[in-house]
Amino acid sequence: MQFHIPADTIKALLVIAAKSDIRHYLNSMCIDVRATDAVAVATDGHKLLALPLTVTDDAPALVPGCYIIRREALEGVKAVLKRPILVTIDPTTRTATIDNGNAATTTPLMDDKYPDWRRVVPLAVSGEVSQFNAEYVGAFGKVHKLLGGAYSPSIRHNGDNAARVILPGDAVGVLMPMRGDPQPLDNPSWLVPPSAIEPAEVPEPAEVPEPADVPEPAEVAEVA
């Protein structure tokens, strides 16, 4: 099976894949093949990118399966004159050959089982606002640019469930939200506007006791 994959697409997939996860298959790219289509997928468990692949006209019939190519074999790919990278999967020998037009490298496929990634892709979203890890959002910004986007990706919020990231072409992004529990904020005094500062209460003056009544002097009796 042979697939033409642009070098920037491979870079985009590696942006989303994990880098040093103990689950080594998450550090890699998977080509998920069915009888009628093939998709390149990368995920780190928090974010996911999937792109449909074009099968070369003279390629053998598709052999269903998940074919995992190690990150190390893909990181060394250098684009030559912007030509797509030719990736050949041999299900019999369990190898992948990566050819940029000037050089070809053959590497063993990983034997791990790749996650059932389609299960986490939402086919509809609620629109309920979510919170996201800023680093993950930034990663999709890089992906959007690598895939030819002019501005930034759009996120379709889905509450506490996985959100869809809208990317150029037929690419599909998935982003897991963070928990949105209310958290108290520590606001320093210099941040609070003067209008929000309540004036200190001025104590009322103490009451001055009224003077005690002074008895009038007794009348002096007249001297006879």
Say which residue the tokens 């500062």 belong to: 197
Within 8 A by CB and 6+ apart from 88, the residues are 1, 2, 3, 96, 97, 99
Q: pLDDT by residue (tens digit) across 140-186?
A: 999 999 999 988 889 999 999 999 999 998 999 999 998 766 778 78
pLDDT of 201 reads 66
pLDDT, averaged across the chain:
86
First to last CA, the chain: 147
3-state SS record for 120-150: HCCCCCCCCCCECCHHHHHHHHHHHHHCCCC
For residue 223, pLDDT over 70 is answered with no
Contact between 5 and 85 (Cβ < 8 Å): yes
Determine if the pTM surpasses 0.75.
yes
pLDDT tier at 199, thresholds 50, 70, 90: low
Q: Which of 27, 39, 42 is nearest to 1 (CA)?
A: 39
Q: pLDDT by residue (tens digit) across 64-121?
A: 999 999 998 888 776 665 778 899 999 999 999 998 878 888 999 999 999 999 999 9
The tally of CA atoms less than 13 A away on the side-chain side of residue 48 is 22
Contact between 53 and 59 (Cβ < 8 Å): no
